[in-house]
């Protein structure tokens, strides 16, 4: 397949959440047919309701600053599917993506003919196989793997990592993972492997008990950051924090973060402890400091200078919306104008309850996604804010309307779904005197 054919082939598989079939046997079978490339390099595996992408990005940045060649597999993408597969901080090329996709497709076809597979790979399973194969071809030193959904039955769970990380557990994807925090925690804890060091950032007591039980049962050394680490903020500037961190191994003073939001201290702590638990490579404190100061993770409290100051944040559950609201309150924004769109299977009432009170105007839009909630549906759930609401037919229209209504001193916030962030990102980066310049970009 060439690149165009590869994209068409993926599109034919359908939505990766709606056409989801949890289980490891299909991914494991294809990986075995390809020679189990995922076992040829060390990995770090990261699960959690919120923060797993940020933790993955921080760990990858630290490893790169240490002079290693890391792979990074994350989901979903914002604009291009190739964003999900990165080596040395660069996304896979179109030609390389077509090449690995062709090999995975051919292996899948052979296994279907042999009746080893019971059905086609899902989109996420297919991309996971592509990532593992690409990292092998590129001879990465180590790969950082973000779980797609849950953990125990997620396609990524065919790896045998050197470190497992559970960032935290909250209610999300209940229709797939369970209707209580404890049930969801069981799924997340499924990435903890026998004898493999595990790092937990769970603050919910019920979830923490589940994580501890799993670690005990498989004899995995467990380090809970809430029990063993302390972090103290020393400076806040435009939403960015500088803090000092003490872990069981050492103390790091005046660590500067490039990702906005005080909650990133929690994520940075997890990243540091995961690096400290790594056996394959020794990473210096200086590498850790540089990596945390230069991490880039688009679409999460990601601010741009466009037609108006514009903040993109893919908060897609009540916990994420609460963190966004706290960030806006801490920044004492003079006036916030909201662009909001979400998928219908999320807790739209809970998300709106956290974020809608912050906004002078609320511009509701559908997503370019079959799971999208209709603006009228969202509005009906929040009748108390109806006077502030404007209903639009698409995200571009909603964004321009928010820019028009927002004063020069105000802030436009785009949130509710990473799909929405991906829809508007090209528009944000195209417009304005600064041509959509990201306001907090730093690199090693």
What does the pLDDT look like over 357-393, one tens digit per residue? 999 999 999 998 888 999 999 999 999 999 999 999 9
Cα 310 → chain centroid: 20
CA–CA separation, 163 and 327 (whole Å): 30
Does the predicted TM-score (pTM) go above 0.85?
yes
Domain ranges of the chain: 3-293, 302-438
pLDDT level of residue 316 (50, 70, 90 thresholds):
confident
Torsion of CA 301, 302, 303, 305, to 10 degrees: -160
User: What topology is assigned to 302-438 in CATH?
Assistant: 3.90.190
d(CA 400, CA 298): 21
Do domains 3-293 and 302-438 share one topology? The answer is: no
Q: Report whether 248 contacts 269 (CB < 8 A).
A: no
* CATH code of domain 3-293: 3.40.1190.10
- Pull the structure tokens for residue 412: 């436009």
Give the mean pLDDT of 289-297. Answer: 97
Please give the Cα distance from 104 to 100 (Å, whole number).
6
pLDDT, residue 20, reads 64
User: Cα dihedral sign for 322, 169, 164, 118?
Assistant: negative
pLDDT at residue number 363: 98
**pLDDT: which is higher, 271 or 439:** 271
Helical segments of 35-171, H only = 52-65, 94-113, 123-137
**Joined tokens for residue 274:** 């995961």
Confidence of residue 442 (pLDDT cuts 50, 70, 90): very low
Q: What share of the chain is helix, strand, coil (3-state, %, to 5)?
A: 45, 20, 40
Question: pLDDT, tens digit, for every residue of 53-98?
Answer: 999 999 999 999 999 999 999 999 999 999 999 999 999 999 999 9
CB neighbour list of residue 391: distance below 8 Å, 6 or more residues apart:
364, 375, 376, 379
Nearest to 347, CA basis, from 171, 168, 150, 148 = 171
Structure confidence by residue, pLDDT tens digits, 390-437? 999 999 999 999 999 999 999 999 999 999 999 999 999 987 555 455
pLDDT class of 342 with cuts at 50, 70, 90 = very high
Output the CA torsion sign for 57, 60, 62, 64.
Answer: negative
**Residue 347 bridge partners (DSSP):** none
In percent, the amount of the chain with pLDDT more than 70 equals 94
Q: Distance (Å, rounded) from C-alpha 35 to C-alpha 133?
A: 9
């Amino acid at each position: 397949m060439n690149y165009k054919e590869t994209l068409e082939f993926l599109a034919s598989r359908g939505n990766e959440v709606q056409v989801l079939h949890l289980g490891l046997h299909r991914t494991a079978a294809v990986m075995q047919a390809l020679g189990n490339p995922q076992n040829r390099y060390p990995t770090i595996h990261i699960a959690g309701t919120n923060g797993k992408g940020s933790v993955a990005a921080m760990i990858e940045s630290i490893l790169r600053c240490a002079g290693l060649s890391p792979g990074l597999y994350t989901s979903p993408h914002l604009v291009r599917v190739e964003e999900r597969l990165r080596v040395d901080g660069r996304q896979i090329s179109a030609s390389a993506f077509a090449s690995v996709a062709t090999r995975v497709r051919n292996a899948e076809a052979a296994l279907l003919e042999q009746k080893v597979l019971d059905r086609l790979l899902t989109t996420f399973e297919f991309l996971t196989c592509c990532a593992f194969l690409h990292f092998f071809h590129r001879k990465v030193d180590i790969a950082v793997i973000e779980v797609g959904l849950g953990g125990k039955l997620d396609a990524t769970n065919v790896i045998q990592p050197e470190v497992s990380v559970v960032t935290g557990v909250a209610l999300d994807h209940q229709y797939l993972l369970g209707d209580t925090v404890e049930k969801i925690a069981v799924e997340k804890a499924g990435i903890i492997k026998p004898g493999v060091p595990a790092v937990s950032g769970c603050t919910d007591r019920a979830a923490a008990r589940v994580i501890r039980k799993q670690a005990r049962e498989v004899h995995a050394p467990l380090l809970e950051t809430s029990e063993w680490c302390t972090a103290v903020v020393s400076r806040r500037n435009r939403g960015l924090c500088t803090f000092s961190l003490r872990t069981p191994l050492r103390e790091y003073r005046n660590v500067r973060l490039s990702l906005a939001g005080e909650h990133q201290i929690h994520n940075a702590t997890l990243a540091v402890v995961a690096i400290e638990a790594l056996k394959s490579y020794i990473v210096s404190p200086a590498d850790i400091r540089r990596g945390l100061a230069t991490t880039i993770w688009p679409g999460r409290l990601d601010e741009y200078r466009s037609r108006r100051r514009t903040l993109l944040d893919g908060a897609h559950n009540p916990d994420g919306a609460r963190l966004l609201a706290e960030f806006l309150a801490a920044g004492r924004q003079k006036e916030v104008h909201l662009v909001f769109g979400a998928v219908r299977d999320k807790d739209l009432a809970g998300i709106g309850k956290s974020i809608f009170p912050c906004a002078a105007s609320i511009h509701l839009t559908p997503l370019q996604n079959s799971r999208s909630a209709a603006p009228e549906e969202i509005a009906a759930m929040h009748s108390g804010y109806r006077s502030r609401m404007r209903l639009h037919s698409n995200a571009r229209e909603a964004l321009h309307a928010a820019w028009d209504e927002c004063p020069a001193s105000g802030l436009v916030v785009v949130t509710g779904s990473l799909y929405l962030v991906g829809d508007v990102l090209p528009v944000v980066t195209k417009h304005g005197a600064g041509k959509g310049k990201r306001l907090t970009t730093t690199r090693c």
